[in-house]
Structure 1
Amino acid sequence: MRHASEAELPEHSAVIAGRKVPTARWIDVVDPATARPFARVARCGPAEVRAAVEAARHTYETTWRFTSPVERSAVCHRIAGGLRARRQELARLETLDTGKPLGQSLADAGIAARYFEFYANALEALGGETIQQRPDRLAFTLREPYGVCGHIIPWNYPLQIAARTLAPALAAGNCCVLKPAEDAPLTSLRLAGIAEEAGLPAGALNVVPGYGDEAGAALAAHPDVDRLAFTGSREAGEAVMTAAARNIVPVTLELGGKSPHLVFPDYDAASAVPQIVESITEHAGQNCSAGSRLLVHRSVHDELVAALAERFRSLRLGPGLDDPDMGPLISAKQRDRVLGYLSEVSDSSIEVRAGGGVPGGEAFADGFYVEPTLLDRVTPEHRVFNEEIFGPVLCVSVFDSMDEAVALAEHTTYGLAAGIWTRDVTAAHWLAQRLRVGQVFVNNYSAAGGVELPFGGYRRSGVGVEKGLEALREYTRCKTVAIHARLPS
């Protein structure tokens, strides 16, 4: 693939009030497979964020809040149609942006469309309730939009997560300002164009790319933002939550995880092995709900680890556009972070059963590649057991009882998801109630679940709920109306 020189790089402006707004400063967008820039994106700061919030407020107060649910639903359906019609284009852009295999990007584009379809359909069922008091008093509740919502999203699933947060917010009647990650902003900008073509009023969706400490911080701290949603690191999430607290506005935080698989002697290997591998190698393990820990009963440890190691070694790595099993990591910074964790393993009792470094060969010399890695005999004393690596690294630990399995699962500070592999329904039910996580999968593992499944974390994995009907409620507030009806004498 030919790469343009810096002077030839296509430039992608911010989208504010329906217009493309160039900036004086730009950020190079790098292809993770080659480490070379292929585009430039606007580097927004506080001035652009202020303009975007003002545009969102104006459209909310004059247009979108007065649009009927039927009309909002129709717009969301048209956005979904636009995403499906441009699925190939969006997938290619997402792969260039993030490095993920093309097949995964195609799936992401389909899921993004599904979010808008789901909330378009669910919107018309959203309503308040009547409250019984006395014969002379009528009381009821209304579900109303917040107003202007700020959305700060990460680089790992930019199109899918943008749709995940924007679809319920827009369907509910809010107007939005989206700050995509500087590493992968292009599909968010394309989504804004598709939404405008679908009839979304100018200013209802504004996109301000830039760095987190510039555009992201300005959006989180803006006093005219009524609600915030953030997905990313715990440290950045704490800063967003602090800013939200200063303005007394609600916030949804999704901050990552260290999600375990719990495998018992009666597990189904034919089903478990491929799903366990996929859950840690999808998008090179850069997934907040990746199944990054494997807690396995001692009696089946050897056979399961041998099967996983064989599968890890058979995975095909390469540029995302070639649609391999696994592509590169997003950046040199992220690659070095993962390699930093792996460098500690050689000085420990951990056994490397597959991978463990950078793949050899000229094909991988320039990109940000790390081998899919299987680490055995990991215990809670090891850093890789407790901390989110955010790479294709699966850590294996053994247990002898259900109580020990729960103790190991609960040892980290996270609580996003867990997978349970057993044919014993009673045991699965017992475990599902005891694990402090937002999602529990039994005999399957669908990272973050389906569009319809509420998704949120316990403990340091975050606050609030996304996806499903719960998200639509999260983007509305409840107002109570009580009317005293004087009875005839």
Structure 2
Amino acid sequence: MSVDQLSAAYFETGTLPDLPRDHFIDGRAVAPGVGGRMESFDPGRGMAFADFAAGDAADVDHAVTSAVAGFEVWSATPPAQRCAILNEAARLMRQEAERFAVVECVDSGKTLAEARGDIAGSARLLEYYAGAADKLDGRSVNLGNDNAAFTLREPVGVTAHIVPWNYPTSTLVRGIAPALAAGCSAVVKPAETTPFTALMIADLLIRAGLPAGVVNVVTGTGIAAGAPLVRDPRVRHVTFTGSVATGVGVMQSVAPNVTGLTLELGGKSPLVAFGDADVDAVVEGALWAIFSNAGQICSAGSRLVIQRSLHAEVRDKLVARAQMLRMGHGLRGPDIGAVNSARHLAQIADHVSRARARGVEIVTGGEVLSDVESGAGWFYAPTILDNLAATDDAVLQEIFGPVLAIQVFDDEAEALALANGTEFALAAGIYTKDIATALRMARGVDAGQVTVNDYWAGGIELPFGGNRKSGFGRENGLEGLDAYTRSKAITLAV
């Protein structure tokens, strides 16, 4: 079915056809052991549209047992064959991209255009790591004697992937693609509000030729399914994306097993604009740095740190642009989609309400909205808070919604201090025409990735991850393979 047909059928029936509803274990759909089920809600309508399996520790045990057996098969599979299977998975994902995008849109609340971009990027990730599968070579080492020495890069074993709700497809693929390229197996626990594309991807991988048991998916809550997964001693690496508090809990859970860990946590990333920057570029960059995916992005440019000479002009233009943005159900082609859940919408509203109560100037937005066509759904107006102090909670705390905090600086030293003035260190954008200023700031700002004059510049070929309370470890790029391989040194006395 085309997107138009799927959309029409969805609005008529309130559901999507042929959605997977059970766990995916050992190459097939598996009903939950105790028969529990949960509802998944369409954020754009605020209504349940399907149900899915609610997993528990027994389901997780079944999946990890399958992954242990799958690892024995997959780690012995020739790298060239792993490459071919990942490339076939990428081909299938592109072939089925429109269905994936519709499911992603309805399940997460984002716009169809954003969902399409996520699916295209996920197919590219599969291709990228397919190309790496047969190039994970060791090295020859000269010991300066008659001994021969070399290293091997081996897969670490069973890996666990705890996937967030804001990017349920692309975050999943950026974890499992390098794991599979390295020869690891995987157990995936998708977010409880966005389970379906993970199940669809597991089935797609089997159709691409992946052996049964190599990728398994258990759906359900973090407490019932996620917690026993990360505690399982058979898991040798956990990749987690989510909140700082939950990330700390994951660290504590894996510590007794000395399990490897990649954490991609929160952010309060600055977009720093100097007085010589192109005004229109700053406005456009700041707009989409915070309002893409309704601000529900770990690396969102949630702080505009701007030189005083540009402040008023950029703020006024931003307000005008923000007020023009169209909000609505993702399938109807809006500029901004829904917030993922009623619970998260309430959290965003509470952040802004407390800012209003302490006297913060809200120059636009600051209210809960609904879809203009249906009067339903979970939406928050694009919001801008102006001229905030470095100590304000809206500067220091991650709101994870369409809320921009503006901070004003007078010189470069102050700009750097403000940019580094939170406990997060995930991303940063710098806008200036002066290359020397750009390089000094890029070196000085504490962030895992820095872009200049285009906030979303870069791509999957570059490593992604944060410092301090934004986490540790890197995904994407060749660095994304490091978590899933271990080096073994072999020396021969000759």
Shift of 1:184: 0.3
Q: Structure 1 361/484 Cα, relative in aligned 2: closer, same or farther at 3 Å?
A: closer
Residue pairs, 1:45-64, within 5 angstroms:
45-61=56-72, 63-64=73-74
State how far apart, in whole Å, the 1-side matches of 2:258 and 2:14 are.
46
Correspondence for 1:232: 242
State how far apart, in whole Å, the 2-side matches of 1:128 and 1:101 are.
43
RMSD: 1.6
State how far apart, in whole Å, the 1-side matches of 2:378 and 2:154 are.
46
Correspondence for 2:466: 457
Correspondence for 2:87: 77
TM-score between both structures, scaled by the size of structure 2: 0.95
Shift of 1:10: 6.1
Query: Residue type matched to 1:30 in 2?
Result: F
Is the Cα–Cα contact under 8 Å of residues 328 and 370 in structure 2 kept in the other structure?
no
Deviates more, 1:302-311 or 1:128-137: 128-137
Is the Cα–Cα contact under 8 Å of residues 371 and 379 in structure 2 kept in the other structure?
no
Instruction: Report whether the alignment pairs 1:420 with 2:441.
Output: no
Unaligned regions of 5+ residues in structure 2, if any? Answer: 1-10
Query: Residue type matched to 2:375 in 1?
Result: A
State how far apart, in whole Å, the 1-side matches of 2:160 and 2:473 are.
15
SS at match of 2:401: coil
Is the Cα–Cα contact under 8 Å of residues 260 and 483 in structure 2 kept in the other structure?
no
Instruction: Report whether the alignment pairs 1:474 with 2:483.
Output: yes
Is the Cα–Cα contact under 8 Å of residues 19 and 196 in structure 2 kept in the other structure?
no
State how far apart, in whole Å, the 2-side matches of 1:439 and 1:47 are.
40
SS at match of 1:2: helix
1:259-285 Cα deviation digits (max 9, x unpaired)? 001100111123221121111111100
Correspondence for 1:21: 30
Query: Residue type matched to 1:332 in 2?
Result: A
Shift of 1:239: 1.1
Q: Structure 1 304/188 Cα, relative in aligned 2: closer, same or farther at 3 Å?
A: same
Correspondence for 1:317: 327
State how far apart, in whole Å, the 2-side matches of 1:455 and 1:364 are.
38
State how far apart, in whole Å, the 1-side matches of 2:315 and 2:68 are.
55
Query: Residue type matched to 2:300 in 1?
Result: A
* Residue from 172, 179, 188 that aligns with 2:182: 172
Q: Structure 1 361/367 Cα, relative in aligned 2: closer, same or farther at 3 Å?
A: closer
Residue pairs, 1:257-406, within 5 angstroms:
257-359=267-369, 363=373, 365-406=375-416
SS at match of 2:152: strand
Residue pairs, 1:101-140, within 5 angstroms:
101-140=111-150
Correspondence for 1:96: 106
Correspondence for 1:87: 97
Is the Cα–Cα contact under 8 Å of residues 370 and 377 in structure 2 kept in the other structure?
no
SS at match of 2:369: coil
* Residue from 453, 468, 482 that aligns with 1:443: 453
Correspondence for 1:41: 52
Is the Cα–Cα contact under 8 Å of residues 11 and 39 in structure 1 kept in the other structure?
no
TM-score between both structures, scaled by the size of structure 1: 0.96
- In the alignment of these two chains, the number of paired residues is 482
Query: Residue type matched to 2:192 in 1?
Result: E
Unaligned regions of 5+ residues in structure 1, if any? Answer: none
The percent of aligned pairs where both chains have the same amino acid is 42
